[in-house]
Structure 1
Amino acid sequence: MNLFRSTAAALALTTAAMALPLQAWAGQDGTDPMYNVEAPRAFSMVGDLVVARPLLIGATLVGTAAFLVSLPFTALGGNVGEAADALVVEPGREAFVRCLGCSSTQQQQMR
């Protein structure tokens, strides 16, 4: 058991020591060296396409249904536009307009 703990501690310290230069480089210019805003990495694009976009399309459909159900109440309250923006337009914009692999803040920075 002692050998296992020693090996695990040595592995953890070695991994931490190998990550230090990367962290130091990331802090110099304020950017993350693993991700570039102008050109998202392939794994970001694949993750966005396979995971995020289907979830956002589902959120848009669920939001549209919730908007239609709440429409009489929002009409009485006078905030139909705000409800439409929050439930339908924002998820739809994230699903269909945002660039592949970008977050919404990165999309705004690119404009």
Structure 2
Amino acid sequence: MAQATLSLSATGKEWSKMRSYFDAHLRSFMRKVLADCSASISELKRNPTALLAESDGAPIAILNHNKPAAYLVPAETYEWIMEMIDDQELSQIVEKRRQEKHKAVSVNLDDL
């Protein structure tokens, strides 16, 4: 009886291609849910107010076929996030201007 052998030899380049292919496909199937609460789109349609109340201000991942499709955040949470982003942007402007302080021109207010 003849034995068949299976050769699993592949070059580094071939393995790299296969890994890239599987990584890309796994990413499309599996996505990290960045919220402690989640609900389906159907649940959201049924009673959005109840979802917001249950989340107690935390973001809710809205899932479509068990993948995050959107995140729902209460208005207060969204406003807080926007303030934090604005503060960060202002902080970057301040830091940039501090670094350019040597370019500043001295002005006497009485001369204006």
Shared topology, TM-score over 0.5?
no
Higher relative strand content = 2
Which structure ranks higher in relative contact order (CA pairs < 8 Å, sequence separation ≥ 6)? Answer: 1
Higher relative helix content = 1
- After TM superposition, the score normalised by the length of structure 1 is 0.30
- After TM superposition, the score normalised by the length of structure 2 is 0.30
Flag the structure with larger Rg: 2
